[in-house]
Structure 1
Amino acid sequence: MITKLRAVTAQWTVVVPVVAFVVLALTWHENLPGWVVGVVACFLVGAVLAAVHHAEVIAHWTGEPFGSLVLAVAVTVIEVALIVTLMADGGDKSATLARDTVFAAVMITCNGILGLSILVAAIKYRTAVFNAEGTGAALACVATLATLSMVLPTFTTSAPGPQFSTTQLSYAATASLVVYGLFVTTQTLRHRDYFLPVTAEGKIRVDDDEHASPPTLRAAGLSLLLLGVALVAVVGLAKGVSPTIESAVEDAGLPNALVGVVIAMMVLLPETIAALRAALRNRVQTSLNLALGSALASIGLTIPAVAIASAWLSGPLVLGLDPAYMVLLTLTVVLGTLTVIPRRATMLQGAVHLGVLAEFVVLAVNP
């Protein structure tokens, strides 16, 4: 029975990404009626679930933290392509799209995914245990890049408005790439043990599923290919439904920044589901790797990409945050630090992080 179930799951996760990609090709740059948007949304969800499955296959083959890194980077690369495409199509109206999407990704990952993972693990196992060295290093990098890229533009005077001058933007882009590259090197080579799941005693966790035979090279390669197809479908279909989202936001009289929040939520669905599944297996460190790694990748890859794209985009590039969002970013960093230091967290910390995310959504709807 179990073998049959696995066979059905394997077939489903192969077929859905391909069909979703075909749907993307058929609906690309088309004005979609309401019922088609509903169909596209269904395939979007299916592609997300398939992406999570293939990411876990790759993670089993490579081991942590490479598995979470593959998913975070793959999603972010395609997210960057989506942002640049929307900016190219949107003109002046999309001047703040990169900032809104990246900041939303930081809030969703550092408060939503992190808080939800801690809450789920704490409910099931009383406390969520993780490695403070690796998590603290990731949080420090997120805080640094977020401040350099989205706080400083509000206070610089070389360019009008909350924008960087060309020199300042070039430095922010270079610093983002360097810091992210150093983090990946630390995570995967020099201090890989800092990013592995641990037990309550602080020892590296070894679970029964780790003793299972890893997938073959052929199976891992197929999953890598299908992961790419699924993620292209996820982001492409998200772009397909974005005009409907923009119209709904405009008709409701809501701020345009809410579009970036919705896009970030859709794109981060694979990481969210993967992080929750890891938390349910008491592998909270894997969940935090996904959360903070995604935040880092979002800043570290998006800022250089939009910096390069700004050379040919006609509209302005606004990166500076409003004062209320700077307060939320500061609160997120302080709260994250207090959560990380004890090496374990309870339901309380998870709920507080989710409360900060809820406040961010409230401010996005009613600034």
Structure 2
Amino acid sequence: MVVRFRSLAARWPAVVPVAAVVLLAFTWGRALPGGVVVLVTVILAGSVLAAVHHAEVIAHRVGEPFGSLVLAIAVTVIEVALIVTLMADGGAKSATLARDTVFAAVMITCNGVVGASLLVASLRHRIAVFNPEGTGAALATVATLATLSLVLPGFTTSKPGPQFSPAQLTFAALSSLILYGLFVTTQTVRHRDYFLPITRQGEVIRADDHAGAPSARAAALSLGLLTLALIGVVGLAKGVSPAIESGVAAAGMPQSVVGVVIALLVLLPETIAALRSARRDRVQTSLNLALGSAMASIGLTIPAVALASVWLSGPLLLGLGPLHMVLLALTVVVSSLTVVPGRATPLQGGVHLVLFGAYLELAVSP
């Protein structure tokens, strides 16, 4: 019996994603009673941990920066599907869902994940070291995408309200795709060394330095299970979203908090993976995950919702309010000062976490 239990425990990364997809098939589109919500939440948490496990297997096989790129793109593609699905079902109240979720993803990754990673690494290893060339390029791309997609709609005059005209939305969508494609090419082909972890002496730690990589078959299996786990995470998050919406409304909080909660759930796999990398003194990998996720969230979501707006009824409001513009500007300035030296202490981590705390506080009580 003990041997059988240990065998089952060792297989949980394979069992949980399958269970999540099966549970999703039975609960999709249905009102969930309280007991089922609890079960869904437990399986959702297990799917997050399973996704992190399989992402690390893939990363060990393909090396950096491909490993973090696989997880960032996989999470974002399914996140986009969730946003479009909720917009199709939500009616007028979903007009700001894409904006709220994308901005939440930017603040969670650029302040929450970055701050926690820098704090963990610097407390454990005294100083967190990373490559400023690669991290700076990623930050510049995120800042440009966020400004083009989330700030400018509040200042254009072609249409009333914080929204683009069709021509402006098309330009923003194409620009997002082009910039994201250029960044991926830079990260994986032309300047790959800029995105690899470095030693305290500034030497690049290459993927070839790691021994015992899993086989191609094991990596392929993990890729399939990672996909199932992420489908489970996002699908089950949609299943519990009515309970989240009811809780938010009962607490008297703004509707935008729903987007924050969904973004927190969806980004859990990347957050855990980033913190694990920070504990191993691979801060560059943590920053690749954080900034890559922010970039993918904007670069893939904006084109998707632009395309979906052709057949979705109602306006697509992308422009941020003054409060969130200030938080975004402060995030860009602070992140730039953090990136330039290529080294960080607990102070920089604490500053980012305070910004993240301010965002959460103002989201709940604007």
Report what 1:273 is aligned to. Answer: 272
CA distance in 1, matches of 2:344, 2:137: 17
CA distance in 1, matches of 2:206, 2:84: 41
With structure 1 as the length reference, what TM-score do the two structures score? Answer: 0.97
CA distance in 2, matches of 1:228, 1:199: 32
Query: C-alpha deviations, 1:225-258, integer Å up to 9, x for none?
Result: 0000000000000000000000111111110000
Q: How does 1:88-167 map to 2 (within 5 A)?
A: 88-167=88-167
CA distance in 1, matches of 2:312, 2:194: 41
Query: C-alpha deviations, 1:298-317, integer Å up to 9, x for none?
Result: 00000000000000000110
User: How much has 1:8 moved relative to structure 2?
Assistant: 5.7
Report what 2:80 is aligned to. Answer: 80
Report what 1:194 is aligned to. Answer: 194
CA distance in 2, matches of 1:7, 1:177: 45
Q: Work out the number of aligned pairs and report it.
A: 363
CA distance in 2, matches of 1:188, 1:8: 37
Q: How does 1:52-63 map to 2 (within 5 A)?
A: 52-63=52-63
Q: How does 1:1-367 map to 2 (within 5 A)?
A: 10-205=10-205, 210-367=209-366
Contact 2:162 2:319 in 1 (8 A): yes
Aligned residue identity for 2:174 = T
Judged with a 3 Å threshold, the aligned counterparts in structure 2 of structure 1 residues 10 and 195 are, in CA distance, closer, same or farther, namely farther
Contact 1:60 1:210 in 2 (8 A): no
CA distance in 1, matches of 2:219, 2:305: 32
Q: Which of structure 1's runs of 4+ aligned residues deviate more than 4 A? A: 4-10
Contact 2:176 2:299 in 1 (8 A): yes
Contact 2:196 2:206 in 1 (8 A): no
Gaps of 5+ in 1: none
Query: C-alpha deviations, 1:49-106, integer Å up to 9, x for none?
Result: 0000000111011000000000000000000000000000001100000000000000
User: How much has 1:7 moved relative to structure 2?
Assistant: 6.3
CA distance in 1, matches of 2:130, 2:358: 26
CA distance in 2, matches of 1:57, 1:9: 18
With structure 2 as the length reference, what TM-score do the two structures score? Answer: 0.97
CA distance in 2, matches of 1:309, 1:330: 29
Which moved further from structure 2: 247-256 or 175-184?
247-256
Judged with a 3 Å threshold, the aligned counterparts in structure 2 of structure 1 residues 166 and 206 are, in CA distance, closer, same or farther, namely closer
Which moved further from structure 2: 196-205 or 89-98?
196-205
User: How much has 1:211 moved relative to structure 2?
Assistant: 3.2
Judged with a 3 Å threshold, the aligned counterparts in structure 2 of structure 1 residues 6 and 206 are, in CA distance, closer, same or farther, namely farther
Judged with a 3 Å threshold, the aligned counterparts in structure 2 of structure 1 residues 10 and 184 are, in CA distance, closer, same or farther, namely farther
CA distance in 2, matches of 1:341, 1:180: 22
CA distance in 1, matches of 2:217, 2:37: 35
Query: C-alpha deviations, 1:271-306, integer Å up to 9, x for none?
Result: 000000000000000000000000000000000000
CA distance in 2, matches of 1:213, 1:341: 35
Give aligned-pair identity as a percent.
71
SS of equivalent to 1:197: coil
CA distance in 1, matches of 2:342, 2:199: 11
User: How much has 1:168 moved relative to structure 2?
Assistant: 0.2
Query: C-alpha deviations, 1:146-175, integer Å up to 9, x for none?
Result: 000000000000011000000000000000
Aligned residue identity for 1:85 = T
Query: C-alpha deviations, 1:103-130, integer Å up to 9, x for none?
Result: 0000000000000000000100011000
Across the aligned residues of Structure 1 and Structure 2, the Cα RMSD in angstroms comes to 1.5
User: How much has 1:210 moved relative to structure 2?
Assistant: 4.8
Contact 1:246 1:259 in 2 (8 A): yes
